[in-house]
């Protein structure tokens, strides 16, 4: 009886931990994903949406291939998670992970310019991403630093914050608030982000204080790119330039299906340290300008 009970528990709940006693059929794989969407999605469905979700569930039970099932899961995501949610097929996941982009930097007038691209990749790629810029930021003393988040579509925030950890104060960055209004603090210590993203530990991080830090935003700064900007707001020497961000200020949890598809479910809102709630709101820069790098550079020079 104990053995059979263990088998049932493993079969029923193992997929939540990427553990499968037997390979699931596409139908069961999709049903597990659907249940995850239904139980954790941030939006509370009204009666019409509940009826729609019931129909989607029934439709999934009548399908036999992933190609038929993916559109149904996307419909469920639209109801329970809204615009920030997404589903990536295994081929799309593979393509994205193969397109690793490291941060780039340059120095002019003793001002360090850093461009942080989006990141989605392995732990080793995350460490490479972070180290690429961390050592540049701590190699000398600059008049100021420009952190360009333009066109940063998001992804894994851990390597992003680790890379620029010298200018992010230790402590609480913000809170994430789920559908039941239960908050969880996202904290930062050294180079490690807790309760969000991959932990990248760069050891005894040298913090850089007392110099101006300009942050560049544009309409393609999204998701974790936007949350990186929010984390930088905790540095009193930061000022933002550019245009409004994309407006994906919410939290996605990723459920990985057996076949490798990634279901990104929007599960939480953001609560800033000043109490403001963000839920897919755009971030407005301190200085709205079409020439953000020039304006940021001039601002830094005028601080010295």
pLDDT score of 207 more than 80: yes
Whether 172 is covered by a domain: the verdict is: yes
**Is the confidence at residue 50, as pLDDT, over 50?**
yes
For residue 296, pLDDT beyond 60: yes
The pLDDT tens digits for 107-159 are 999 999 999 999 988 889 999 999 999 999 999 999 999 999 999 999 999 99
Indicate the pLDDT class of residue 243, thresholds 50, 70 and 90: very high
36 has a pLDDT exceeding 60: yes
16-25, 72-81, 265-274: which range is least confident on average? 16-25
**pTM, two decimal places:** 0.89
Residue 21 in domain: yes
End-to-end CA distance of the chain: 74
Q: At what angle do helices 26-40 and 66-80 cross, to 10 degrees?
A: 0
157 and 234 part of one domain: yes
Write out pLDDT tens, residues 180-200: 999 999 999 999 999 999 999
Q: How many CB atoms lie within 10 A of CB 100?
A: 15
- Looking at the structure, do residues 120 and 19 belong to the same domain, yes or no? no
Residue 6 has pLDDT above 50, yes or no: no
216 and 285 housed in the same domain: yes
Residue 267 lies in a domain: no
pLDDT confidence tier of residue 5, bands split at 50, 70 and 90: very low
Label the pairing between strands 262-271 and 277-278.
antiparallel
Shared domain for 200 and 100, answered yes or no, is yes
Average confidence (pLDDT) over 97-113: 92
Kindly state the average pLDDT of the residues 49-65. Answer: 97
Tell me, yes or no, whether 86 lies in a domain. no
Is 218:150 a contact under the CB 8 Å cutoff? Answer: yes
The reply to whether 35 and 138 lie within a common domain is no
The residues with which 239 forms a beta bridge, in sequence order, are 214
17 with 144, same domain: the answer is: no
Same domain, 142 and 281: yes
Give the pLDDT score at 23.
85
2 pLDDT band, cuts 50/70/90, is very low
Residue 258 lies inside a defined structural domain of this protein: no
11-35: pLDDT as tens digits: 455 565 555 556 899 999 999 999 9
Q: Which of 53, 80, 107 is the last residue of a domain?
A: 80
Task: Identify whether 85 is part of a domain.
Answer: no
Asked if residue 180 and residue 135 are part of one domain, the reply reads yes
- The domain boundary residue, chosen from 80, 108, 134: 80
In a domain, 89, yes or no: no
Residues 66 and 100 in one domain: no
Inform me whether the pLDDT recorded for 175 exceeds 50.
Answer: yes
Of 80, 108, 125, which marks where a domain is finished?
Answer: 80
Residue 8 has pLDDT above 60, yes or no: no
Number of domains, the chain: 2
Q: Are residues 59 and 155 in the same domain?
A: no
Residue 99: band (very low, low, confident or very high) from pLDDT cuts 50, 70, 90? confident
Domain membership flag for residue 90: no
What's the CATH number where 224 sits? Answer: 3.90.226.10
How much is the pLDDT for 166? 97
232 and 101 assigned to the same domain: yes
110, 25: one domain: no
For residue 200, give the nearest of 147, 145, 122, 254 by alpha carbon.
122
Q: Which domain holds residue 122?
A: 96-251+274-303
């Amino acid at each position: 009886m104990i053995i059979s009970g263990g088998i049932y528990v493993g079969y029923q709940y193992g997929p939540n931990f990427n553990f499968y006693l037997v390979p699931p059929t596409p139908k069961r794989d999709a049903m597990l994903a659907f249940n995850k969407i239904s139980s954790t999605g941030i939006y509370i469905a009204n009666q019409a949406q509940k009826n729609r979700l019931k129909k989607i569930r029934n439709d999934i039970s009548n399908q036999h291939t992933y190609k038929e099932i993916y559109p149904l899961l996307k419909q469920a995501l639209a109801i329970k998670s809204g615009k920030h949610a997404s589903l990536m097929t295994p081929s799309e996941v593979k393509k994205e992970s193969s397109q690793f982009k490291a941060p780039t930097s340059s120095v002019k007038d003793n001002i360090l310019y850093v461009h942080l691209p989006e990141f989605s990749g392995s732990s080793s790629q995350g460490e490479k991403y972070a180290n690429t810029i961390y050592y540049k930021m701590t190699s000398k003393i600059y008049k100021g630093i420009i952190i360009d988040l333009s066109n940063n579509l998001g992804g894994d925030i851990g390597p992003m914050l680790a890379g620029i950890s010298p200018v992010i104060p230790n402590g609480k960055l913000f809170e994430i608030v789920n559908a039941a209004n239960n908050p969880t603090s996202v904290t930062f210590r050294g180079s490690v982000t807790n309760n969000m993203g991959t932990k990248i530990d760069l050891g005894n991080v040298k913090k850089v204080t007392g110099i101006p830090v300009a942050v560049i935003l544009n309409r393609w700064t999204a998701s974790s790119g936007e949350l990186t900007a929010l984390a930088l707001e905790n540095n009193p020497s930061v000022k933002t330039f550019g245009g409004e961000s994309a407006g994906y200020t919410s939290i996605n949890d990723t459920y990985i299906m057996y076949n490798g598809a990634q279901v990104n479910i929007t599960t939480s809102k953001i609560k800033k340290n000043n109490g403001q709630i963000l839920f897919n709101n755009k971030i407005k820069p301190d200085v709205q300008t079409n020439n953000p790098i020039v304006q940021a550079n001039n601002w830094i020079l005028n601080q010295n």
